[in-house]
Amino acid sequence: MDKNLVQSDARLLCDELPPVGPLALGLWRYTNTDIGHATNLLEAAIDLGINLVDNADVYGLDWGGNGFGACEELLGQVLSGSPELRDQIVLATKGGIQPPVPYNSSSEYLRKACEDSLRRMNVEQIDLYQVHRPDMYTHPAEVAATLDSLVEEEKVIALGVSNHSPSQIKALQEHLRNPLIAVQPEFSALHLNPLRDGILDLAAERDLVPLAWSPLAGGSLATGEGIPSELAAVLDELASRESVDRATIAIAFVLSHPTSPIAILGTQTIERLEKLSEALQVSLTRADVYKIIQASEGVPLP
């Protein structure tokens, strides 16, 4: 029998943090100001084993939000009302985007961004703090010094980066005293760049946990809109075989890489979280994942 490649076991980000599930709750769309709904969504995620919560200070600037910091503020209100939830999650957030600049990882700004995130989320410590996008006009030594000081002051437990290239990650790590433990690229059955741009190779080399954002390509892998018909057909074929929907197969595809990525789910409905969690019961073989890749790219592999 062909081996199932879907990595459904818990992931260990680092020794200082508890294990996390292979699915994470992404808060980019956490813009509904109904505290009851926001609390219920977080509780439902935890019940499903989705205990990594991924936020960012810039979330809320779009997707119907009330502005910069809105999604962190909403989470802060949830945690204030239900403080027992804080110990049940691994809390990740990101900083370094400064609209309309757009990027600022200078020591002064990045420190302020982290401290503002702590205040908005009503927490004393961030479990995983990530530089959201690389600021090419701040030397990595300056970024590293800021991040190290945040760890040493116990405002942050662990460090990661988002949307960085392999060379940018290596340059930053060269100056850091603390290890980077996670990298957050866009990765889906429609966006396969990390398979070939060196990101997942670097994750394998340095034991970084990949946090895959937009694993449903903004929802298009669920709706089928704007994706190659061949890809939709393959996903539908596998979905029928596994008795799940197309989106669940797309999530299982992300979980199948040997670096054990975590798929960040952006849905804000409990029902969709429950359906997508079925990806952990899906079986995908080596032939299946390569079939998805070839259908996505529209050409046979050499």
Residues belonging to the active site: 59
Single out the residue of 160, 156, 159 nearest to residue 210, CA to CA.
160
Residue 298: CB atoms within 10 A of its CB come to 10
In DSSP terms, which residues pair with 54 in a beta bridge? 26, 92
Question: Where do we find the tokens 């396969």?
Answer: 192
* One-letter amino acid of 53: V
Q: Are 41 and 282 in contact (CB under 8 A)?
A: no
Distance, in Å, from the CA atom of 182 to the CA atom of 12, rounded to the nearest integer, reads 11
Distance, in Å, from the CA atom of 144 to the CA atom of 171, rounded to the nearest integer, reads 10
Tokens coding 223: 């709706």
Distance, in Å, from the CA atom of 251 to the CA atom of 264, rounded to the nearest integer, reads 9
Distance, in Å, from the CA atom of 234 to the CA atom of 278, rounded to the nearest integer, reads 18
Angle between the 166-175 and 140-152 helix axes, to the nearest 10 degrees? 60
Single out the residue of 286, 287, 224, 270 nearest to residue 250, CA to CA.
224
Residue 172's contacts (CB-CB under 8 Å, 6 or more residues apart) are: 131, 140, 143, 144, 161, 164, 180
